[in-house]
Amino acid sequence: MQNELHEIVESIHDSYQRFGAINHIGGPGLPSRSSVIAIMHDLESLIFPGYRADEQLHENNLRHTIGEKTCRLCRSLTTEIQKSLRFKHANDLELHGSSEVDYSWCAAEQFAFDLLGKLPDIRRRVRLDVEAAFLGDPAGKSHEEVILSYPGVEAILVHRVAHELWNAGIPLIPRMMSEQIHGQTGIDIHPGATIGDYFFIDHATGVVIGETTIIGRNVKIYQGVTLGALSVKKEAADKKRHPTIEDDVTIYAGATILGGKTVIGRNSIIGGNVWLTSSVPAGSTIYNPPVDHIRRQKHAELPDYQI
């Protein structure tokens, strides 16, 4: 038994040498996945007080609770952001031979303060998303039900936080957040995507929103929608690869809209299972003809065909 275990250990160790591209040994410490999940939980409980934690909140203990969570978040955010900045510094040195990244505790703490300072406005925006979900779904019985049970609301909440970190140039953590909520909800929103107020994903599962997507205000999309790129070539990484969706657009289930130059004009309706790789003007209604309609058209010239 001891000999077998020794051989296994040696084999695993040897694989570290042979397959080094998936190692991180001796480099700067990376952000902790469990810590990022805990940060997400605390952020959600500040954005939705009384919903995301097993606690009874009252006006006389509210400031104390906010203060305790904010202090804890500041420490944990600073720790994980510093790890991310140190990684970015090391990566820049390896790729470019130089780096101007300040990965000091003070620099990381300032990023944490900046994010926490934006929470009131993030709460304002998430409130509009909750309202969009409640008014946009006849099955929704209350705002409480929407907050507690709608995966689309949770996904956009996390996105609004991750997007701020992404815009601040923090590596790793925004993607860790977006992929964690992707695993929970089946909704894949890249933290680089720009999404306007009053956004609602109905039913939610299977939605994909790419990095350079721009979505306007009062947009509603259904399950299985993909806002993606026409090309996945690495050299196109710094270009706009994903579509722009203007204000007041509805996109129904299974639609696929691709390309950085594709613009869906405001007040448009995109039907289910539509495939689009070019722009449509404002006020458009785009849909696939029903199968029965296609069958009738196909056989219209055949006199002996019976429907």
Q: Give the CA distances from residue 257 to residues 47, 129, 134, 247, 280, in Å, rounded to whole numbers and listed in that order.
A: 32, 22, 26, 16, 11
Work out the average pLDDT over 247-255: 98
- Neighbour count for residue 145 (Cβ, 10 Å): 14
Residue with tokens 């909140």: 57
Tokens of 227: 């806002």
Distance of alpha carbon 248 from its chain centroid, rounded?
21
306 pLDDT band (50/70/90 cuts)?
Answer: very low
> Which domains are present in the chain?
25-188 (1.10.3130.10), 193-307 (2.160.10.10)
**pLDDT value of position 300:** 56
Buried b (16+ CB within 10 A) or exposed e, 148-173: eebbbbbbbbbbbbbbbbbeeebbbb
237 pLDDT band (50/70/90 cuts)?
Answer: confident
Report the candidate in 6, 181, 191, 214 with the shortest Cα–Cα distance to residue 84.
Answer: 191
Span 4-50, pLDDT tens digits:
888 888 888 888 888 766 777 777 789 999 999 999 999 999 999 98
Span 199-220, pLDDT tens digits:
999 998 999 999 999 999 999 9
Question: What percentage of the chain has pLDDT greater than the value 70?
Answer: 93
Work out the average pLDDT over 56-71: 86
pLDDT exceeds 70 at position 153: yes
69 pLDDT band (50/70/90 cuts)?
Answer: very high
Please give the span between the terminal C-alpha atoms of the chain, in angstroms, as a whole number. Answer: 73
pTM, two decimals, is 0.89
